[in-house]
């Protein structure tokens, strides 16, 4: 394989690294790895570097890059919102690979905020054949609440923490099911129905979905069947694969967990495309 | 900013070259990363430093060692000796790219230490700025192991704690071979002679850090050395701060002033 650092985009301000496989399979989409939070393009603990090289070994071209204002990419001129800026960055990344390598189909993968970005960009760009969401949007179920609160009932310290957060709720903040999901835990997810509609739209376009949650996402997801309980019709779709790493943390700090994740992603990509 | 790939065909190193803002310059700075998660946490500092040095009319190269960042290689390819060779390669690359005859080196933590150890392999070095350098490899590893144990039991990271036993061969998220750990344990900065004629600036982010042994060693060798404290809560080896990005504008300013003292007209005082 061959790796090349590149600057691309309309303002040549987006920095990334392309991993070209030896003997690229022309029928395979390219994979784009989107920043995890503020982490630059190597990913947490070099996850994206290792994942890119593992995918390239299977014939995928991979681009790991920094969205505008992250890592080594500079800010985009103008007054775009974050969502608009991400959409433009990703579109330009797809354009770059199409113009330089003739690739017309793509897979987006992201961890944490990267998952959110991959989902939103997947919805709006029909060149996306696959979306892999690692610790992205998650929706609590009765099973989640049971597993979340039962252990805390026996812990005075956790009661105190819960009461402190509840005081914050009653002083004007909306409850957990009002408008934005997850606000009691501090994250802003789109409403459950909107996310479900988005996933269905992707599936109607024949997009393959890999949805992975880790134990480190425990404030939002805490058992293997949670996605299926939240979205039963979507979980049963043959284009959807859901996995739960019940001991890994959010950034796959432990090497064995990271290797399992890479094996999962490469196996899914190899089987799906 | 220009991406660079250098090194041998079998072992390509990834770097980023920042040219001087106003054109020709004889100032060149090689930035040597820390290793492991300390490098990840310091990424933004290094980028900011490179941009500001470039604006101050210096050539700058920052790069990734073998098995780190975007460079070739995996954990098994990492060794202290390999990293010293990488620093030497990067120095040559910078001097060729910038067309300069000498350079200065800036490193944080193990980056400062590796730069020091690479000294005899480097072309002419004018200034070495060392931020929180690691003097003693055994002490560094002992602190890392302690932080690793804390990390495995951090309930904000692992709702079910993990064990040291299941993470044999890794420290704070990165694989480390026994051979590499053995090399690192043998590091004793003060056992190595400094580069002749170099000016050394030691910056400590913790006022309790004791670099007396290093400064005494340098003075004995007739090397010009200044030490200063730039307070910043870096928490380098805190097992609960692994993903805490260093946002330290004052530290970057202090490094810049140490690296290019004549640009600020600052009077140097020894400590």
The predicted complex's ipTM stands at 0.93
Cross-chain CB nearest to A72 (options B47, B157, B242): B47
- The answer to whether residue A11 scores a pLDDT higher than 60 is yes
| pLDDT score of B181 | 96
Judged by a CB distance cut-off of 8 A, whether residue A216 touches chain B is yes
- The answer to whether residue B57 scores a pLDDT higher than 70 is yes
- The answer to whether residue A60 scores a pLDDT higher than 50 is yes
Cβ neighbours of A251 in B, within 8 Å: 173, 243
Q: pLDDT grade, residue B266 (50/70/90)? A: very low
Q: pLDDT grade, residue A186 (50/70/90)? A: low
Average pLDDT over every residue of A68-90: 93
Determine the Cα–Cα distance for residues B267 and B269; give it in Å rounded to an integer.
6
The residues, ordered by sequence, that sit 6+ positions from B161 with a Cβ below 8 Å of its Cβ are B152, B153, B155
| pLDDT score of A158 | 63
Cβ neighbours of B40 in A, within 8 Å: 39, 42, 44-45
Determine the Cα–Cα distance for residues A95 and B9; give it in Å rounded to an integer.
29
Cross-chain CB nearest to A42 (options B4, B70, B74): B70
Average pLDDT over every residue of A250-273: 98
Average pLDDT over every residue of B239-266: 85
Contact: B16, A7; criterion CB under 8 Å: no
Judged by a CB distance cut-off of 8 A, whether residue B16 touches chain A is yes
- The answer to whether residue B265 scores a pLDDT higher than 70 is no
Cross-chain CB nearest to B167 (options A49, A222, A254): A254
- The answer to whether residue A170 scores a pLDDT higher than 80 is no
Q: pLDDT grade, residue A225 (50/70/90)? A: very high
Contact: A17, B14; criterion CB under 8 Å: yes
- The answer to whether residue A183 scores a pLDDT higher than 60 is no
Query: Least CA distance to A252: which residue of chain B?
Result: B173
The 8 Å CB, 24+ separation contacts for A181-187 are A181/A137, A181/A139, A181/A140, A182/A138, A182/A140, A182/A220, A185/A219, A185/A220, A186/A219, A187/A219, A187/A220
Judged by a CB distance cut-off of 8 A, whether residue B4 touches chain A is yes
Q: pLDDT grade, residue A162 (50/70/90)? A: low
Q: pLDDT grade, residue A231 (50/70/90)? A: very high
Judged by a CB distance cut-off of 8 A, whether residue A218 touches chain B is yes
Average pLDDT over every residue of A146-162: 77
Determine the Cα–Cα distance for residues A246 and A260; give it in Å rounded to an integer.
12
Q: pLDDT grade, residue A208 (50/70/90)? A: very high
Average pLDDT over every residue of B246-261: 93
Q: pLDDT grade, residue A25 (50/70/90)? A: confident
Judged by a CB distance cut-off of 8 A, whether residue B35 touches chain A is no
Chain mean pLDDT for chain A: 90
**β-pair partners for B175:** B170
B74 Cα to chain A: minimum distance (Å): 8
- The answer to whether residue A180 scores a pLDDT higher than 50 is no
| pLDDT score of A153 | 80
- The answer to whether residue A163 scores a pLDDT higher than 80 is no
Contact: B37, A50; criterion CB under 8 Å: no
Residue A252 vs residue B265, higher pLDDT: A252
Q: What percent of chain B has pLDDT over 90?
A: 79
Judged by a CB distance cut-off of 8 A, whether residue B161 touches chain A is no
pLDDT in tens, B73-124: 999 999 999 999 999 999 999 999 999 999 999 999 999 999 999 988 898 8
Q: pLDDT grade, residue A177 (50/70/90)? A: very low
Judged by a CB distance cut-off of 8 A, whether residue B10 touches chain A is no
Judged by a CB distance cut-off of 8 A, whether residue B29 touches chain A is no
Contact: A5, B162; criterion CB under 8 Å: no
pLDDT in tens, B15-46: 999 999 998 899 999 999 999 999 999 999 99
Contact: A42, B242; criterion CB under 8 Å: no
Contact: B5, A46; criterion CB under 8 Å: no
The residues, ordered by sequence, that sit 6+ positions from A94 with a Cβ below 8 Å of its Cβ are A32, A106, A125, A127
Q: pLDDT grade, residue B230 (50/70/90)? A: very high
Judged by a CB distance cut-off of 8 A, whether residue B257 touches chain A is no
| pLDDT score of A155 | 74
| pLDDT score of B263 | 60
Query: Least CA distance to B50: which residue of chain A?
Result: A72
CA distances A122 to A27, A129, B86, Å, are 19, 8, 40
| pLDDT score of A179 | 33
- The answer to whether residue A185 scores a pLDDT higher than 60 is no
- Whole-prediction pTM: 0.92
Residue B9 vs residue B234, higher pLDDT: B234
Determine the Cα–Cα distance for residues B11 and B206; give it in Å rounded to an integer.
37
pLDDT in tens, A109-121: 999 999 999 999 9
| pLDDT score of A164 | 65
Query: Least CA distance to B35: which residue of chain A?
Result: A45
Average pLDDT over every residue of A217-238: 97
Chain mean pLDDT for chain B: 92
Query: Least CA distance to A46: which residue of chain B?
Result: B69
Judged by a CB distance cut-off of 8 A, whether residue B3 touches chain A is yes
Determine the Cα–Cα distance for residues A259 and A126; give it in Å rounded to an integer.
31
| pLDDT score of A23 | 77
| pLDDT score of A175 | 37
Query: Least CA distance to A256: which residue of chain B?
Result: B167
Is the backbone of residue B176 left (phi > 0), alpha (psi -120 to 50) or beta? beta
Average pLDDT over every residue of A150-170: 67
Residue B195 vs residue B200, higher pLDDT: B200
């Amino acid at each position: 394989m061959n790796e090349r650092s590149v600057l691309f985009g309309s303002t040549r301000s987006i920095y990334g690294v392309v991993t070209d496989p030896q003997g690229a399979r022309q029928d395979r989409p390219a994979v784009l790895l989107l920043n995890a939070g503020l982490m630059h393009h190597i990913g947490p603990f070099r996850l994206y570097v290792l994942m890119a090289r593992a995918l390239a070994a299977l014939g995928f071209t991979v681009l790991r890059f920094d969205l505008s204002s992250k890592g080594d990419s500079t800010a985009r001129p103008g007054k775009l919102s974050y969502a608009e800026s991400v959409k433009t960055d990703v579109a330009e990344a797809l354009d770059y690979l199409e113009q330089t390598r003739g690739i017309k189909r793509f897979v987006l993968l992201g961890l944490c905020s990267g998952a959110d970005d991959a989902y939103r960009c997947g919805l709006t760009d029909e060149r996306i054949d696959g979306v892999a969401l690692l610790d992205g949007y998650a929706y609590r179920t009765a099973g989640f609440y049971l597993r979340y609160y039962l252990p805390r009932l026996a812990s005075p310290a956790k009661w105190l923490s819960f009461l402190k957060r509840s005081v914050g709720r009653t002083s004007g903040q909306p409850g957990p099911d009002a408008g934005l999901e997850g606000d009691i835990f501090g994250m802003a997810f789109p409403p459950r129905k909107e996310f479900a509609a988005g996933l269905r739209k992707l599936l109607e376009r024949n997009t393959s979905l890999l949805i992975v949650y880790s134990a480190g996402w425990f404030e939002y997801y805490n058992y293997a069947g949670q996605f299926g309980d939240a979205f039963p019709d979507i979980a049963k779709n043959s284009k959807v694969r859901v996995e739960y790493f019940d001991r890994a943390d959010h950034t796959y700090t432990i090497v064995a967990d990271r290797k399992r994740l890479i094996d999962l992603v490469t196996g899914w990509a190899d089987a799906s495309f | 900013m220009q991406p660079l790939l250098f090194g041998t065909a079998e072992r390509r190193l990834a770097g980023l070259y920042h040219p001087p803002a106003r054109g020709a310059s004889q100032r060149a700075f090689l930035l040597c990363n820390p290793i492991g998660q300390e490098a990840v946490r310091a990424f933004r500092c290094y980028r900011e430093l490179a941009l500001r040095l470039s604006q101050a009319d210096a050539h700058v190269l920052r790069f990734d060692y073998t098995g780190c960042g975007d460079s070739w290689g995996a954990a098994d390819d990492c060794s202290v000796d390999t990293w010293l060779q990488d620093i030497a390669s990067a120095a040559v690359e910078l001097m060729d790219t910038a067309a300069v005859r000498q350079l200065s080196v800036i490193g944080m933590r193990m980056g400062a230490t590796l730069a020091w150890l690479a000294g005899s392999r480097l072309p002419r070095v004018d200034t070495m700025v060392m931020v929180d350098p690691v003097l003693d490899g055994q002490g560094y590893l002992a602190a890392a192991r302690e932080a690793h144990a804390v990390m495995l039991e951090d309930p904000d990271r692992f709702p079910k704690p993990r064990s040291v036993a299941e993470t044999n061969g890794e420290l704070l998220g990165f694989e480390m071979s026994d051979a590499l750990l053995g090399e690192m344990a043998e590091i004793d900065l003060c056992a190595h002679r400094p580069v002749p004629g170099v000016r050394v600036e030691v910056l400590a982010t913790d006022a309790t850090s004791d670099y007396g042994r290093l400064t005494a060693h340098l003075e004995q060798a007739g090397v010009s050395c200044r030490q200063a404290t730039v307070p910043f809560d870096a928490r380098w080896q805190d097992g609960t701060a692994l993903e805490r990005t260093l946002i330290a504008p004052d530290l970057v300013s202090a490094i810049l002033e140490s690296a290019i003292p004549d640009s600020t007209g600052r009077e140097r005082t020894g400590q």
